[in-house]
Amino acid sequence: MKGPVWSLAGYVCVVYPLVHLLFRDPHRFAGWVGSAYFGLVLLAMLATKKLTLSQLGFQRETWMRDGAIGLIPGLLIAGAVPLFDAFIEASGLDQTELFAGAENRAAALPSTETLALIVVGQVLVMPFIEQAYFTGYLLPALFRVVKPVTAVYLAAAVFALVHFELKLSLFLIGLICSGLFYGTGTLWASLTFQVGCALGGWMVAYFYPRVVTFLAFLL
């Protein structure tokens, strides 16, 4: 547990505070900096051979089957975003005061090239690093010191708390990803599930801002 504990302490006590000191809009950069930090931690562990890709859960034998286990529900979540938006419009909720001005919350669309980089970063790179660290690296360490069910819940809690956002959705994503890892024994299902969730979040941020208000009642 020393590696995960010290690396988490480094992020919480050093990296995250520095982000808030150096950037005028820290929330905009915290996710990117956090991913870079945890990615460097994993690269250092791999480079020094203290960790292997197989130990992180990247087994080749079942990548397609396990990937599909996580990808299907993940894509269902992403696909539900436009359906929720259509329901808001069809039911007339979009005309109520509750949803008034929701379109103003949409993130400004950048250039095509920048948007493509954002998609790759938020939908592919960040989930990859987060799952490799929190599920592939932290969770097995927790398995060695506490019961598996307790470890799954602890990993989910850490995943949510390290984002410094009190969102039930983050805890649920962490819980499901940890459960998928425990059930399949590989990281593929957890990774593809978070990719689907990240895709849904990206769609909400840029194209379906009304869904934020709707989901606030669910999560």
pLDDT digits (tens, 9 = 90+) for 137-177: 999 999 999 999 999 999 999 999 999 887 888 999 999 99
The distance of Cα 185 from the centroid of its chain, to the nearest Å, equals 19
Confidence of residue 104 (pLDDT cuts 50, 70, 90): low
Which one, of 164, 170, 102, 162, lies nearest residue 133 by Cα?
A: 162
> What pTM does this model have?
0.90
Dist. CA 74–CA 135, nearest whole Å: 17
Confidence of residue 1 (pLDDT cuts 50, 70, 90): confident
